[in-house]
């Protein structure tokens, strides 16, 4: 039977409830770039929302190292939120990126990092649509003169993305999962850099600055697909960007 969006969200949530500690990071490539820009742009009284905040290390740093003085961390997983340090002026909320519980134009900055590829539909095509909805909502909750600060792990071609999506969809449910080193319940849908940037433009945000770095697709080694990946020359690209957001809503 076909799964509806709600069930797929629950599966993602259950996955992160199980692996919270494993997926918890304290620093990432690109943090300095993003924090540097936030130091330049932020003023007293500014706020930042982090969607899929995980253990909240990024919002903690934004609060400590920039003029931002209110941070909001949202995550679908309670286990992830529990890993957050308690800090004054930091507010946490368990919710889905697809249903942000905030009024339009609420935040000066909206951030997400490594969250979008976890928003999946039943097929790769509907996963892209869902990802676009999340980008649209991120723009909506950002103030008119605010910024989106987004990092997403993208993949070079749609073929590669389809391959990974359907391989995981199949493997993650079978006893082969352990053999192939796939974490149970993990399904991801990577956008290509073009799809990611198109989604941002379609949501009405304009691009201020983009950095792209090439990362070794380490998780693919866990998929035991290394030889075919190499021949397909898969490469993952981290796309960091600052986007001027907060379009007026109709
Ligand atoms: C790979 S972790 C990244 C965490 C953090 N942003 C970082 O860079 O360390 C992805 C995070 O996104 C969250 N997430 C996945 N799907 C989500 C959704 N639909 N809504 C909100 N959070 C979601 C997960 O619970 C997890 O904390």
Domain with 172 in it? 5-47+97-227+234-238
Look at phi and psi of residue 220 and say left if phi exceeds 0, alpha if psi is from -120 to 50, else beta.
alpha
The DSSP code for 84 is S
Overall number of domains in the chain: 1
Is residue 59 in a domain? no
Is residue 160 in a domain? yes
**Are residues 203 and 132 in contact, defined by beta-carbon separation less than 8 angstroms?**
yes
Q: Going residue by residue through the chain (250 aa), what tens digit of pLDDT does each one get? A: 556 667 778 888 988 998 888 888 888 878 888 899 899 999 999 999 999 999 999 999 999 999 999 999 999 999 999 999 999 999 999 999 999 999 999 999 999 999 999 999 999 999 999 999 999 999 999 998 889 999 888 888 899 899 889 988 888 777 776 666 667 778 899 999 889 989 988 998 888 888 777 665 444 433 333 323 232 333 445 565 656 654 433 2
Is residue 173 in a domain? yes
| pTM reported for the whole predicted model | 0.88
Is residue 245 in a domain? no
Q: How far is the CA of 226 from the centre of ligand 1 (A)?
A: 26
Q: How far is the CA of 179 from the centre of ligand 1 (A)?
A: 26
Is residue 190 in a domain? yes
| Residues near 4 by beta carbon (within 8 Å), at least 6 away in sequence | none
Ligand 1 neighbours (beta carbon < 6 A)? 9, 12, 16, 23, 25, 28, 51-54, 75-77, 80, 96-98, 113-115, 118-119
- Best residue for ligand 1 mutational test, from 76, 81, 126 (most atoms within 8 Å of Cβ): 76
Q: For residue 19, what pLDDT is reported?
A: 85
- pLDDT tens per residue, range 15-71: 899 888 888 888 887 888 889 989 999 999 999 999 999 999 999 999 999 999 999
Q: How far is the CA of 54 from the centre of ligand 1 (A)?
A: 6
Is residue 62 in a domain? no
Nearest ligand 1 atom to the CA of 80 is 27
Q: For residue 211, what pLDDT is reported?
A: 79
- Best residue for ligand 1 mutational test, from 52, 96, 111, 121 (most atoms within 8 Å of Cβ): 52
**Are residues 95 and 101 in contact, defined by beta-carbon separation less than 8 angstroms?**
yes
CATH number, domain containing residue 152: 3.40.50
Q: Using a pLDDT cut of 70, give the percent of the chain over it.
A: 80
Q: How far is the CA of 186 from the centre of ligand 1 (A)?
A: 12
Is residue 27 in a domain? yes
Cα distances (angstroms) measured from residue 166 to each of 114, 131, 238, 240: 20, 17, 22, 26
Q: For residue 222, what pLDDT is reported?
A: 34
Percent helix, strand and coil across the chain, each to the nearest 5:
40, 20, 35
| Residues near 126 by beta carbon (within 8 Å), at least 6 away in sequence | none
**Are residues 63 and 72 in contact, defined by beta-carbon separation less than 8 angstroms?**
no
Q: For residue 10, what pLDDT is reported?
A: 84
At 197, is the secondary structure helix, strand, or coil?
Answer: helix
Q: Which residues pair with 236 in a beta bridge?
A: 155, 215
**Are residues 81 and 73 in contact, defined by beta-carbon separation less than 8 angstroms?**
yes
Nearest ligand 1 atom to the CA of 77 is 25
Is residue 108 in a domain? yes
């Amino acid at each position: 039977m076909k799964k509806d969006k709600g069930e797929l969200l629950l599966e993602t949530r259950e996955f992160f409830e199980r692996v919270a500690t494993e997926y918890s990071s304290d620093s990432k490539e690109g943090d300095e770039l993003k924090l540097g820009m936030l130091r330049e742009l932020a003023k007293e009284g500014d706020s930042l929302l982090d969607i899929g905040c995980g253990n909240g290390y990024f919002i903690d740093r934004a609060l400590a190292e920039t003029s931002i003085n209110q941070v909001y961390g949202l995550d679908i997983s309670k286990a992830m939120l529990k890993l957050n340090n308690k800090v004054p002026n930091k507010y946490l909320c368990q919710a889905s990126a697809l249903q942000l519980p905030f009024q339009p134009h609420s935040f000066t900055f909206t951030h997400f990092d490594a969250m979008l590829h976890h928003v999946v539909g039943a097929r790769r095509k509907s996963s892209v649509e869902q990802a676009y909805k999340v980008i649209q909502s991120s723009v909506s909750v950002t103030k008119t003169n605010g910024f989106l600060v987004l990092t997403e792990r993208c993949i070079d071609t749609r073929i590669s993305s389809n391959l990974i999506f359907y391989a995981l969809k199949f493997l993650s449910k079978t006893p082969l999962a352990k053999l192939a080193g796939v974490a149970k319940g993990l399904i991801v849908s990577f956008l290509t850099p073009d799809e990611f940037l198109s989604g941002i433009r379609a949501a009405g945000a304009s691009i201020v600055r983009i950095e792209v770095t090439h990362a070794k697709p380490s998780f693919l080694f866990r998929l035991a697909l290394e030889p075919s990946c190499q021949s397909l020359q898969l490469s993952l690209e981290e796309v960091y960007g600052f986007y001027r957001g907060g379009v007026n809503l109709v």
